[in-house]
Amino acid sequence: MNFSQQLSSKIAMVDEYLEKYIPLRDNYQSAIYEAMRYSLFAGGKRLRPVIALASCELVGGNIKDAVPIACALEMIHTYSLIHDDLPAMDNDDYRRGKPTNHKVYGEAVAILAGDALLNKAFEVAVNEGLKTGVDPARLLKAISVIATASGADGMIGGQIVDLESENKEIDLERLKYMHLHKTGALIVAAAKAGAIIGGANEVQIHALSSFAENLGLAFQIKDDLLDVEGNQEKLGKPVFSDIRKGKSTFVSLMGIEESRKAVDKLSKDAVECLKVFGDKGAFLSQLAQYLIHREN
Protein backbone atom coordinates (compact mmCIF):
# COMPACT_ATOMS: atom_id res chain seq x y z
CA MET A 1 0.00 0.00 0.00
CA ASN A 2 1.11 3.56 -0.67
CA PHE A 3 1.07 6.28 2.01
CA SER A 4 -2.49 7.46 1.34
CA GLN A 5 -3.82 3.91 1.51
CA GLN A 6 -1.96 3.20 4.75
CA LEU A 7 -3.23 6.43 6.29
CA SER A 8 -6.81 5.75 5.22
CA SER A 9 -6.58 2.20 6.55
CA LYS A 10 -5.41 3.36 9.99
CA ILE A 11 -8.06 6.08 10.17
CA ALA A 12 -10.75 3.57 9.19
CA MET A 13 -9.57 1.21 11.92
CA VAL A 14 -9.76 3.98 14.52
CA ASP A 15 -13.24 5.04 13.37
CA GLU A 16 -14.48 1.45 13.43
CA TYR A 17 -13.44 0.97 17.04
CA LEU A 18 -14.61 4.42 18.16
CA GLU A 19 -18.04 3.44 16.84
CA LYS A 20 -17.82 0.27 18.89
CA TYR A 21 -16.62 1.98 22.06
CA ILE A 22 -19.06 4.92 21.90
CA PRO A 23 -22.22 3.71 20.16
CA LEU A 24 -25.52 5.54 19.98
CA ARG A 25 -27.62 4.86 23.06
CA ASP A 26 -31.38 4.60 23.40
CA ASN A 27 -31.71 5.13 27.14
CA TYR A 28 -31.35 7.84 29.77
CA GLN A 29 -27.76 8.43 28.61
CA SER A 30 -28.69 9.01 24.96
CA ALA A 31 -28.22 12.80 25.16
CA ILE A 32 -24.67 12.65 26.48
CA TYR A 33 -23.62 9.97 23.98
CA GLU A 34 -25.06 12.05 21.14
CA ALA A 35 -23.04 15.09 22.25
CA MET A 36 -19.88 13.00 22.67
CA ARG A 37 -20.28 11.50 19.21
CA TYR A 38 -21.04 14.88 17.62
CA SER A 39 -17.52 16.12 18.26
CA LEU A 40 -15.78 12.75 18.08
CA PHE A 41 -17.03 12.13 14.53
CA ALA A 42 -16.83 15.73 13.31
CA GLY A 43 -14.04 14.95 10.83
CA GLY A 44 -10.76 15.12 12.74
CA LYS A 45 -7.41 14.11 11.24
CA ARG A 46 -6.97 11.25 13.77
CA LEU A 47 -3.32 12.32 14.01
CA ARG A 48 -2.68 11.04 17.53
CA PRO A 49 -4.23 7.59 17.10
CA VAL A 50 -2.54 7.16 13.73
CA ILE A 51 0.85 7.93 15.30
CA ALA A 52 0.14 5.48 18.12
CA LEU A 53 -0.78 2.69 15.70
CA ALA A 54 2.15 3.42 13.40
CA SER A 55 4.63 3.51 16.31
CA CYS A 56 3.42 0.17 17.62
CA GLU A 57 3.68 -1.34 14.14
CA LEU A 58 7.11 0.21 13.52
CA VAL A 59 8.69 -1.52 16.54
CA GLY A 60 7.27 -4.89 15.55
CA GLY A 61 4.09 -4.91 17.62
CA ASN A 62 0.61 -6.05 16.63
CA ILE A 63 -1.20 -2.93 15.46
CA LYS A 64 -4.53 -4.11 16.94
CA ASP A 65 -2.96 -4.22 20.40
CA ALA A 66 -2.59 -0.44 20.22
CA VAL A 67 -6.19 0.26 19.15
CA PRO A 68 -7.57 0.87 22.68
CA ILE A 69 -4.92 3.44 23.57
CA ALA A 70 -5.16 4.98 20.09
CA CYS A 71 -8.89 5.51 20.54
CA ALA A 72 -8.34 6.78 24.09
CA LEU A 73 -5.96 9.42 22.73
CA GLU A 74 -8.58 10.63 20.24
CA MET A 75 -11.20 10.83 22.98
CA ILE A 76 -8.87 12.92 25.16
CA HIS A 77 -7.99 15.18 22.24
CA THR A 78 -11.67 15.65 21.40
CA TYR A 79 -12.61 16.44 25.00
CA SER A 80 -9.89 19.10 25.06
CA LEU A 81 -11.31 20.71 21.91
CA ILE A 82 -14.85 20.77 23.29
CA HIS A 83 -13.65 22.51 26.44
CA ASP A 84 -11.26 24.78 24.52
CA ASP A 85 -14.16 26.09 22.43
CA LEU A 86 -16.30 27.04 25.45
CA PRO A 87 -17.11 30.72 26.11
CA ALA A 88 -14.93 30.67 29.24
CA MET A 89 -11.96 29.57 27.14
CA ASP A 90 -11.60 30.49 23.43
CA ASN A 91 -15.33 31.11 22.81
CA ASP A 92 -15.31 29.61 19.30
CA ASP A 93 -18.46 29.14 17.26
CA TYR A 94 -17.09 26.75 14.64
CA ARG A 95 -14.82 23.72 14.64
CA ARG A 96 -14.06 21.68 11.50
CA GLY A 97 -16.71 23.59 9.58
CA LYS A 98 -19.49 22.75 12.05
CA PRO A 99 -20.97 24.64 15.01
CA THR A 100 -19.00 23.87 18.16
CA ASN A 101 -20.43 21.47 20.72
CA HIS A 102 -21.74 24.11 23.10
CA LYS A 103 -23.46 25.93 20.22
CA VAL A 104 -25.45 22.78 19.45
CA TYR A 105 -26.04 21.29 22.90
CA GLY A 106 -25.47 24.19 25.28
CA GLU A 107 -22.58 24.86 27.64
CA ALA A 108 -23.63 22.45 30.40
CA VAL A 109 -23.95 19.45 28.08
CA ALA A 110 -20.70 20.38 26.30
CA ILE A 111 -18.84 20.39 29.62
CA LEU A 112 -20.32 17.00 30.48
CA ALA A 113 -19.54 15.63 27.00
CA GLY A 114 -15.89 16.60 27.45
CA ASP A 115 -15.80 15.10 30.94
CA ALA A 116 -17.43 11.91 29.67
CA LEU A 117 -14.92 11.53 26.83
CA LEU A 118 -11.99 11.96 29.21
CA ASN A 119 -13.31 9.30 31.55
CA LYS A 120 -14.33 6.98 28.72
CA ALA A 121 -10.78 7.24 27.36
CA PHE A 122 -9.29 5.60 30.43
CA GLU A 123 -12.16 3.13 30.72
CA VAL A 124 -11.44 1.97 27.16
CA ALA A 125 -7.64 2.01 27.60
CA VAL A 126 -7.89 -0.25 30.65
CA ASN A 127 -10.84 -2.55 29.92
CA GLU A 128 -10.30 -2.99 26.18
CA GLY A 129 -6.53 -2.89 26.54
CA LEU A 130 -6.58 -5.88 28.89
CA LYS A 131 -8.62 -7.85 26.35
CA THR A 132 -5.81 -7.59 23.78
CA GLY A 133 -3.52 -9.82 25.83
CA VAL A 134 -0.76 -7.21 25.97
CA ASP A 135 1.54 -7.52 28.98
CA PRO A 136 -0.34 -5.60 31.72
CA ALA A 137 2.92 -3.90 32.75
CA ARG A 138 3.28 -2.46 29.24
CA LEU A 139 -0.35 -1.38 29.21
CA LEU A 140 -0.03 0.32 32.59
CA LYS A 141 3.13 2.13 31.49
CA ALA A 142 1.45 3.34 28.28
CA ILE A 143 -1.62 4.56 30.17
CA SER A 144 0.62 6.36 32.66
CA VAL A 145 2.35 8.16 29.79
CA ILE A 146 -1.02 9.28 28.39
CA ALA A 147 -2.33 10.37 31.81
CA THR A 148 0.73 12.54 32.49
CA ALA A 149 0.63 14.07 29.01
CA SER A 150 -3.06 14.94 29.44
CA GLY A 151 -2.80 16.61 32.83
CA ALA A 152 -1.34 19.57 34.66
CA ASP A 153 2.21 18.69 33.61
CA GLY A 154 1.19 18.27 29.98
CA MET A 155 -1.74 19.46 27.90
CA ILE A 156 -3.60 21.27 30.67
CA GLY A 157 -0.35 22.83 31.84
CA GLY A 158 0.09 24.29 28.36
CA GLN A 159 -3.50 25.45 28.32
CA ILE A 160 -3.12 27.46 31.54
CA VAL A 161 -0.05 29.19 30.11
CA ASP A 162 -2.13 29.99 27.02
CA LEU A 163 -4.88 31.55 29.14
CA GLU A 164 -2.41 33.57 31.20
CA SER A 165 -0.69 34.84 28.04
CA GLU A 166 -3.72 36.31 26.30
CA ASN A 167 -3.44 40.02 25.50
CA LYS A 168 0.15 40.02 26.76
CA GLU A 169 3.50 40.24 25.03
CA ILE A 170 5.32 36.97 25.60
CA ASP A 171 8.70 35.74 24.38
CA LEU A 172 9.43 32.84 22.05
CA GLU A 173 10.62 30.62 24.88
CA ARG A 174 7.27 30.90 26.69
CA LEU A 175 5.38 30.32 23.44
CA LYS A 176 7.37 27.17 22.70
CA TYR A 177 6.82 25.89 26.24
CA MET A 178 3.09 26.50 25.90
CA HIS A 179 2.74 24.57 22.65
CA LEU A 180 5.14 21.77 23.53
CA HIS A 181 2.68 21.08 26.35
CA LYS A 182 -0.72 22.14 25.02
CA THR A 183 -0.32 20.52 21.59
CA GLY A 184 2.91 18.56 21.67
CA ALA A 185 2.51 16.54 24.86
CA LEU A 186 -0.33 14.36 23.58
CA ILE A 187 1.40 13.85 20.20
CA VAL A 188 4.56 12.69 21.99
CA ALA A 189 2.43 10.48 24.25
CA ALA A 190 0.87 8.86 21.19
CA ALA A 191 4.26 7.87 19.78
CA LYS A 192 5.64 6.78 23.13
CA ALA A 193 2.57 4.83 24.27
CA GLY A 194 2.22 3.07 20.91
CA ALA A 195 5.88 2.08 21.02
CA ILE A 196 5.55 0.78 24.58
CA ILE A 197 2.54 -1.36 23.64
CA GLY A 198 4.57 -2.72 20.72
CA GLY A 199 7.43 -3.76 23.01
CA ALA A 200 9.94 -1.11 21.97
CA ASN A 201 13.34 -0.76 23.60
CA GLU A 202 14.54 2.52 25.13
CA VAL A 203 16.43 3.60 22.01
CA GLN A 204 13.30 3.16 19.89
CA ILE A 205 11.08 4.94 22.42
CA HIS A 206 13.50 7.89 22.57
CA ALA A 207 13.66 8.11 18.76
CA LEU A 208 9.89 8.10 18.38
CA SER A 209 9.42 10.59 21.22
CA SER A 210 11.93 12.98 19.61
CA PHE A 211 10.24 12.53 16.24
CA ALA A 212 6.86 13.39 17.74
CA GLU A 213 8.16 16.40 19.68
CA ASN A 214 9.61 17.96 16.53
CA LEU A 215 6.50 17.07 14.55
CA GLY A 216 4.20 18.52 17.22
CA LEU A 217 5.96 21.88 17.16
CA ALA A 218 6.03 21.93 13.34
CA PHE A 219 2.31 21.09 13.37
CA GLN A 220 1.55 24.05 15.66
CA ILE A 221 3.62 26.54 13.67
CA LYS A 222 1.85 25.35 10.51
CA ASP A 223 -1.46 25.97 12.31
CA ASP A 224 -0.34 29.52 13.08
CA LEU A 225 0.58 30.03 9.42
CA LEU A 226 -2.80 28.71 8.29
CA ASP A 227 -4.50 31.16 10.63
CA VAL A 228 -3.13 34.03 8.54
CA GLU A 229 -2.66 32.38 5.13
CA GLY A 230 -5.33 29.70 5.07
CA ASN A 231 -8.70 29.43 3.37
CA GLN A 232 -11.63 29.71 5.76
CA GLU A 233 -13.70 27.10 3.92
CA LYS A 234 -10.86 24.57 3.98
CA LEU A 235 -9.98 25.35 7.59
CA GLY A 236 -13.55 25.04 8.79
CA LYS A 237 -13.13 28.07 11.07
CA PRO A 238 -12.46 31.80 10.66
CA VAL A 239 -8.94 32.96 9.79
CA PHE A 240 -7.11 35.56 11.91
CA SER A 241 -8.91 34.17 14.97
CA ASP A 242 -5.74 34.21 17.11
CA ILE A 243 -5.11 37.89 16.33
CA ARG A 244 -8.67 38.80 17.31
CA LYS A 245 -8.27 36.96 20.62
CA GLY A 246 -5.03 38.74 21.45
CA LYS A 247 -2.95 35.57 21.29
CA SER A 248 0.76 35.51 20.55
CA THR A 249 1.67 33.07 17.78
CA PHE A 250 4.84 31.94 16.05
CA VAL A 251 3.86 34.14 13.12
CA SER A 252 3.37 37.23 15.32
CA LEU A 253 6.74 36.68 17.03
CA MET A 254 8.82 35.36 14.12
CA GLY A 255 7.05 36.53 10.98
CA ILE A 256 5.72 34.42 8.13
CA GLU A 257 9.00 33.63 6.40
CA GLU A 258 10.85 32.58 9.56
CA SER A 259 7.84 30.50 10.60
CA ARG A 260 7.94 28.68 7.27
CA LYS A 261 11.65 28.01 7.75
CA ALA A 262 11.00 26.70 11.26
CA VAL A 263 8.33 24.28 9.99
CA ASP A 264 10.75 22.99 7.34
CA LYS A 265 13.62 22.54 9.82
CA LEU A 266 11.49 20.86 12.47
CA SER A 267 10.00 18.46 9.95
CA LYS A 268 13.48 17.53 8.74
CA ASP A 269 14.64 17.05 12.32
CA ALA A 270 11.61 14.83 12.95
CA VAL A 271 12.42 12.64 9.96
CA GLU A 272 16.07 12.46 11.02
CA CYS A 273 14.97 10.88 14.32
CA LEU A 274 13.49 7.96 12.38
CA LYS A 275 16.79 6.94 10.74
CA VAL A 276 17.34 4.30 13.42
CA PHE A 277 14.42 2.38 11.85
CA GLY A 278 15.79 2.46 8.31
CA ASP A 279 13.21 2.08 5.54
CA LYS A 280 10.58 0.93 8.05
CA GLY A 281 10.12 4.53 9.17
CA ALA A 282 8.82 5.57 5.73
CA PHE A 283 5.17 5.92 6.76
CA LEU A 284 5.90 8.30 9.64
CA SER A 285 8.35 10.25 7.46
CA GLN A 286 5.66 10.69 4.84
CA LEU A 287 3.13 11.58 7.55
CA ALA A 288 5.38 14.46 8.63
CA GLN A 289 5.50 15.79 5.06
CA TYR A 290 1.76 15.36 4.66
CA LEU A 291 1.06 17.39 7.81
CA ILE A 292 3.34 20.32 7.05
CA HIS A 293 1.89 20.72 3.55
CA ARG A 294 -1.76 20.45 4.63
CA GLU A 295 -4.32 23.17 3.94
CA ASN A 296 -6.45 22.63 7.05
How many CA atoms are closer than 13 Å to the CA of 144, on its beta-carbon side? 7
pLDDT for 238 equals: 62
Architecture of domain 3-292: Orthogonal Bundle (1.10)
pLDDT for 246 equals: 72
Least confident of 63-67, 71-75, 168-172, 238-242: 238-242
Least confident of 126-140, 176-190, 221-235: 221-235
Contact 211, 270 (CB under 8 A): yes
pLDDT for 141 equals: 98
Contact 101, 39 (CB under 8 A): yes
Least confident of 95-109, 158-172, 234-248, 249-263: 234-248
Q: Give the whole-angstrom CA distance, residue 45 versus residue 183.
A: 14
Across the range 251-263, mean pLDDT stands at: 93
Q: Taking the domains of the chain in order of start, what are their residue ranges?
A: 3-292
Contact 121, 75 (CB under 8 A): yes
User: pTM for the whole thing?
Assistant: 0.94
| pLDDT tens-place string over residues 24-44 | 988 999 999 999 999 999 988
Sequence-distant (≥ 6) Cβ neighbours of residue 102 within 8 angstroms: 82, 85, 86, 87, 109, 110
Contact 274, 285 (CB under 8 A): yes
Q: Is 76 exposed, middle or buried (0-12, 13-18, 19+ CB in 10 A)?
A: buried
Across the range 160-181, mean pLDDT stands at: 93
